[in-house]
């Protein structure tokens, strides 16, 4: 019998809790089998939320006379009863608590859920003054704040975040939930032009003399140490009475031109990159399986990129201005400082080239359609060495027979032109491809005239040109 009474009491308490949460009428003693009824006099379900700032207050007028006041945490908020129906609630420190008011019969008059946060009126006033057209709201979350609403661009959102962080004093306590209404897209047109000029001159004389009857002989071979090797095997030899003179001379001039014009489009605030070049392998180790006989070895190879590279991050500011962070790089393979490896058991050695790099990085603010030029990147390197027989190479005029001259001059100039544009999406019909209108020629035209393609016109009428105001050849022409 005692077990049945405990089960009945448990069911009664569960029903009472459900009635309190759902707002249902309390059960009578007849409904609970004679067990006394427990009622929830006040709870958060019937409370009203009120935000308060630290040191701020709010005055509340109640519909009935106050007899009793319950403050859950007086260190967070306090309630001061001014009259029988008016009360002042004051925020003390950051936190949450609740306050309940009861009448003379113990019935709840009102309940309030208090959240005390930072005083945000100063931050609201500062944002309103700095950005009067923005719809940005500020809400307190514990010891921090959260920015919500919408901004016209990413720069306006960042400005609101920076201002709130400065006023709060700690940027980690500011949550930026601002939505950017329209994120602009920026197209970057880049022109990378480089011209490199190399001049190499080598001049030297090798002398050799000696006979079988004369125990004294000499042989001079002057090396070209500036370049590291003789670039030409062409030589002129003269022999007279056992003395042989070999003249080695070489003059080389070279020009290298690099041109790249990449176009990239990126959303404001995002980063885009471009690379036009290649990759070359670099040995990174050798792994061998010694469990097999003979051991099986496999080389590990990494690849290093070279060519023309571009990385940029645009941020669209107000009035069409663009804050642009751009980094461009031009790299080439070079035999200077190259590394030569000899693989055991291999008949040939492995040469790993080096990379010559020209890199520029900057952050500027320019309008849409304006151009930024990175110029003045001029490099000139001159190297000259003279090798010869000590003493004899210092003799005027005749000393040229006992020395060699090696001369190198390298000149490089790099110019980068960057032009950003704020762009919008276009229809496909407004775009064109390089092969639009391309047509293969007929067999007689190819066999007799050597043509590889036809000059095209209006697809609808082959006798009518595509542009009526243009006279002459037009279209896809392959030379």
Give the model confidence (pLDDT) of 133-191 as tens digits: 778 888 877 777 888 888 777 777 888 888 888 877 777 888 888 887 666 788 888 88
**pLDDT at residue 478 in the model:** 47
Separation in Å, CA 427 to CA 423, 431, 436, 465: 13, 7, 17, 25
Among 229, 339, 322, CA closest to 280: 339
What pLDDT score does 25 carry?
A: 47
pLDDT at 465 over 60: no
> For residue 99, what pLDDT is reported?
92
* Main-chain phi, psi angles of 155, to 5 degrees: -65, -40
CB–CB of 93/115 below 8 Å? no
pLDDT at 18 over 80: no
Whether residue 201 is predicted with pLDDT greater than 70 in this model: the reply is yes
More confident residue, 7 or 411: 411
pLDDT band per the 50, 70, 90 thresholds, residue 59:
very high
Task: Give the Å distances, CA to CA, from 344 to 191, 293, 350, 463.
Answer: 46, 18, 11, 71
Distance of CA 307 to the CA centre of its chain: 19
pLDDT in tens, 309-354: 888 888 887 667 888 888 888 888 877 777 777 665 556 677 788 8
The DSSP bridge pattern shows strands 174-176 and 144-151 to be parallel
Q: What is the per-residue pLDDT for 88?
A: 92
Confidence at residue 212, expressed as pLDDT on a 0 to 100 scale:
57
pLDDT confidence of residue 27: 47
- pLDDT score for 346: 56
pLDDT for 12: 43
**Where is pLDDT greater, at 117 or 103?**
103
Distant-in-sequence contacts of 346-350, Cβ < 8 A, 24+ apart: 350/283
What does pLDDT average to over the chain? 75
């Amino acid at each position: 019998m005692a077990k049945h009474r405990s089960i009945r009491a448990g069911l009664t308490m569960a029903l009472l809790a459900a009635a309190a949460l759902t707002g249902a009428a309390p059960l009578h003693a007849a409904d609970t089998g004679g067990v006394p009824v427990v009622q929830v006099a006040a709870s958060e379900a019937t409370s009203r939320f009120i935000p308060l700032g630290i040191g701020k207050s709010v005055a509340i007028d109640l519909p009935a006379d106050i007899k009793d006041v319950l403050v859950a945490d007086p260190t967070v908020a306090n309630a001061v009863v001014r009259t029988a129906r008016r009360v002042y609630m004051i925020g003390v420190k950051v936190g949450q608590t609740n306050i309940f008011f009861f009448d003379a019969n113990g019935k709840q008059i009102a309940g309030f859920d208090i959240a005390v946060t930072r005083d945000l009126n100063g931050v609201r006033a500062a944002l309103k003054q700095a950005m009067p057209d923005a719809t940005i709201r500020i809400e307190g979350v514990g010891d921090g704040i959260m920015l919500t609403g919408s901004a016209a661009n990413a720069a306006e959102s960042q400005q609101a975040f920076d201002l709130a962080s400065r006023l709060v004093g700690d940027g980690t306590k500011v949550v930026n939930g601002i939505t950017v209404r329209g994120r602009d897209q920026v197209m970057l047109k880049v022109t990378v032009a480089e011209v490199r000029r190399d001049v190499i001159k080598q001049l030297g004389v090798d002398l050799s003399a000696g006979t079988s009857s004369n125990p004294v002989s000499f042989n001079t071979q002057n090396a070209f140490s500036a370049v590291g090797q003789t670039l030409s095997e062409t030589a002129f030899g003269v022999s007279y009475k056992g003395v042989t003179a070999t003249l080695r001379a070489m003059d080389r001039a070279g020009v290298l031109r690099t041109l790249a014009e990449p176009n990239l489009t990126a959303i404001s605030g995002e980063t885009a990159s471009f690379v036009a070049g290649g990759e070359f392998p670099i040995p990174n180790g050798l792994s061998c399986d010694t469990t097999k006989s003979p051991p099986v070895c496999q080389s590990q190879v990494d690849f290093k990129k070279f060519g023309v590279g571009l990385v940029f991050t645009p941020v669209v500011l107000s009035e069409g201005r663009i804050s642009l962070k751009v980094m461009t790089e031009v790299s080439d393979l070079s035999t200077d400082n190259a590394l030569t490896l000899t693989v055991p058991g291999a008949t040939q050695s492995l040469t790993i080239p080096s990379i010559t790099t020209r890199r520029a990085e900057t952050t500027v603010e320019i309008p849409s359609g304006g151009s930024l030029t990175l110029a003045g990147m001029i490099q000139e390197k001159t190297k000259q060495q003279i090798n010869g027989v000590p003493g004899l190479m210092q003799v005027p005029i005749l000393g040229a027979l006992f020395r060699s001259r090696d001369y190198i001059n390298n000149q490089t100039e790099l110019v980068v032109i960057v032009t950003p544009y704020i762009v919008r999406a276009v229809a496909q019909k407004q775009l064109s491809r390089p092969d639009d209108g391309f047509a293969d020629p007929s067999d007689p035209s190819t066999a007799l005239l050597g043509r590889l393609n036809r000059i095209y016109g209006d697809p609808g009428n082959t006798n009518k040109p595509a542009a009526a105001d243009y006279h002459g050849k037009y279209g896809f022409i392959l030379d």
